[in-house]
Structure 1
Amino acid sequence: MADYFKLNAEYYKVPGHFTFKDVYLAQYVRKDTLERPELYEIKSDDIFVVSYPKSGTTWTLELAQLIMNKGDPTYSLSENHFYRIPFIEFHSETYPRLTGLTAMQNIESPRLLKSHLPIHLFPPQVLQKGCKIIVVSRNPKDTVASYYNFYQAYPSLLGDYKGDFSNYLKLFMNGKVVYGDWFDHTLGWYEYVVENNGLFLKYEDMKKSPRDVSRKIAEYLNCDLSDEVIDEIVERCSFARMKMSGLINIQEVEGRPFLRKGAVGDWKNYFTLAENEAFDEVYNERMKDSGLSFEWE
């Protein structure tokens, strides 16, 4: 199975892509902040939600923001999700307000911030200051299926990908997608959370019991909320409600919705039997002894 996911000499490349410390990145990622992370003015009460793309980031951020505001939706309803919550490494000439460094300066503390960076590219001062970090992860089969659709939906960010899923899966398994290798990313952050008392969430648990996960987030952020407030937050952040929200499920970038299915087990609609068997072999080898496991349906 070792050669099953072998790439041809020529493979799809995101326009303007670059590699930094062996991580494949898109042109919207600010290279200057990777080279000079001190450009970020980090505050000790900053709160970060970190994930590999398509793992439940938006959902987690919306939950966290409502929890931080004790269930009051006023701020959450005040503006587009992507303006309310800075994406720290993002840079855009077209949408300058979305540029992370600028957006971080325009919100009050405590700041809720987003990143997809792997831990070895993350601003070290965040870790040194002991900022609260919530890591959310998703089983990699559903992650790659969702990421494949995202590549097709957002050509201005990721190029006009026209390949099939089988070829995209090879890119994913070789770390040739934006933000690189899922295994390195996930295990790096998982190890940090375990050793530093961070909060590690699984998308599948959020789907199964959003109330329990919301309570975990509240406890981690030292927010003492009643059961009634937690229930209201869970309802406001249900996938169906977020998908209907023009402030969250934006369609202005490419004319297609940002949120798609949000299902667990959708990978079955994409993987062939042979791909699934080959994937499982790689997964079992890469994840052995990690203490981390996922649900697949």
Structure 2
Amino acid sequence: MADFFKLYSDYYRVPGEYTFKGVYYASYVRKEVLERPDIFKIKPDDCFVVSYPKSGTTWTLELAQLIMNKGDTSHTESAHHFDRVPYIEYYYPKFPQWDGLKLMEGLKSPRLLKSQLPLHLFPPQALEMGCKMIFVARNPKDVAVSYYHFYQTVPEYGDYKGQFSDFLKMFMNKKVVHGDWFDFVLDWWKYIKDNNVLFLKYEDMIKNPRAATMKIANYLNYDLSDDVIDRITDYCSFDKMKANKVVNFEEIEGHEFIRKGQKGDWRNHFTVAESEAFDKIYEERMKDSGLSFEW
């Protein structure tokens, strides 16, 4: 079945690509922090949101930050999302103000940080300190579709014009930025089961946004009133986040960072044969993991 997604040697490559310890990266992921994770100055009260790309990271971060600010939206509205919650491993030459390392150092504690590093490349000191960690995951078919559209809009990924079928082959062969979804999620899942990590499924968050807000607040030990929980949930609704210029990135690059956010959009992109082949690989890779997703 793997032959169904056979990838030819002329597959699309992002500018400045490199592979580090089996994970495919673009140049904006700083190689020096992968080589020297001790470069991160982690604090015991740091809180991390971790995810594979296009899994609900931004939504989760906005919820967490508003909870940590007890519902006060003034900071959220006055500063761009990337200024408030830096990707610790990222550096964009075009946007030097979003240097993850420098932004980390300038934030007041408790800091909210984000990362898309796999477990084996994540700063071990954060794990050893027992930092609060929120992990959000989404079903891989919808991830692949969302990531495909993302590839077409992000300058750091070059000028990708390929068809979804071509992108899906890259996705299934670990040749998209941040590597293999299965490796990423399953390695973290094994760690999460034995450690104090809040695990959220994107599909559950869509189904009951208020429950997701409550889970995050309880995990972070914030006792908020029902009114504040309601206001945070409403403020972070999909439509309001999509319209929020300091979250959706549109005013910087001219494209929308937040696209549809739907569950099941994969049905509009996968062929029947692609879906069936994907399902067989999914069943094999996820077998005995105890982890499942809604499609």
TM over 0.5: yes
Runs of at least 4 residues off by over 4 Å: none
Q: 2:251 and 2:163 mapped to 1: Cα distance?
A: 26
In the TM superposition, residue 73 of structure 1 has moved relative to its aligned partner by: 1.1
Q: 1:87 and 1:67 mapped to 2: Cα distance?
A: 19
Q: What does residue range 1-297 of structure 1 map to in structure 2 within 5 Å? A: 1-154=1-154, 156-296=155-295
List runs of 5+ in structure 1 lacking aligned partners. none
In the TM superposition, residue 218 of structure 1 has moved relative to its aligned partner by: 0.5
Q: 1:38 and 1:84 mapped to 2: Cα distance?
A: 22
Q: 1:200 and 1:53 mapped to 2: Cα distance?
A: 16
In the TM superposition, residue 253 of structure 1 has moved relative to its aligned partner by: 4.2
Query: Secondary structure in 1 aligned to 2:2?
Result: coil
Q: Which moved more, 1:238-247 or 1:1-10?
A: 1-10
Query: Secondary structure in 1 aligned to 2:278?
Result: helix
In the TM superposition, residue 11 of structure 1 has moved relative to its aligned partner by: 1.1
In the TM superposition, residue 254 of structure 1 has moved relative to its aligned partner by: 3.0
TM-score by structure 2 length? 0.99
Q: Which moved more, 1:135-144 or 1:247-256?
A: 247-256
Query: Secondary structure in 1 aligned to 2:200?
Result: strand
Q: 2:103 and 2:146 mapped to 1: Cα distance?
A: 27
Query: Secondary structure in 2 aligned to 1:16?
Result: coil
For 1:265, the aligned partner's letter is: G
CA deviations 1:85-109 (Å, max 9, x no partner) are: 1110001222111010011011100
Q: 1:95 and 1:106 mapped to 2: Cα distance?
A: 17
Contact 2:132–2:196 under 8 Å retained in 1:
no
Query: Secondary structure in 1 aligned to 2:78?
Result: coil
Q: 1:13 and 1:86 mapped to 2: Cα distance?
A: 26
For 2:23, the aligned partner's letter is: V
Q: 2:174 and 2:226 mapped to 1: Cα distance?
A: 42
TM-score by structure 1 length? 0.98
Q: 1:258 and 1:221 mapped to 2: Cα distance?
A: 27
In the TM superposition, residue 252 of structure 1 has moved relative to its aligned partner by: 3.7
For 2:133, the aligned partner's letter is: I
Q: 2:201 and 2:232 mapped to 1: Cα distance?
A: 18
CA deviations 1:177-229 (Å, max 9, x no partner) are: 00000000001111111110210100001100011111110111000111111
In the TM superposition, residue 35 of structure 1 has moved relative to its aligned partner by: 0.6
Q: 1:93 and 1:153 mapped to 2: Cα distance?
A: 17
List runs of 5+ in structure 2 lacking aligned partners. none
Q: 2:61 and 2:291 mapped to 1: Cα distance?
A: 23
Q: 1:212 and 1:59 mapped to 2: Cα distance?
A: 14
Percent identical among aligned pairs is: 63
For 1:134, the aligned partner's letter is: I
Query: Secondary structure in 2 aligned to 1:248?
Result: helix
Instruction: Work out the number of aligned pairs and report it.
Output: 295
For 1:180, the aligned partner's letter is: G
For 1:287, the aligned partner's letter is: M
In the TM superposition, residue 141 of structure 1 has moved relative to its aligned partner by: 0.4
Query: Secondary structure in 1 aligned to 2:76?
Result: coil
Q: 2:158 and 2:212 mapped to 1: Cα distance?
A: 35
For 1:184, the aligned partner's letter is: D
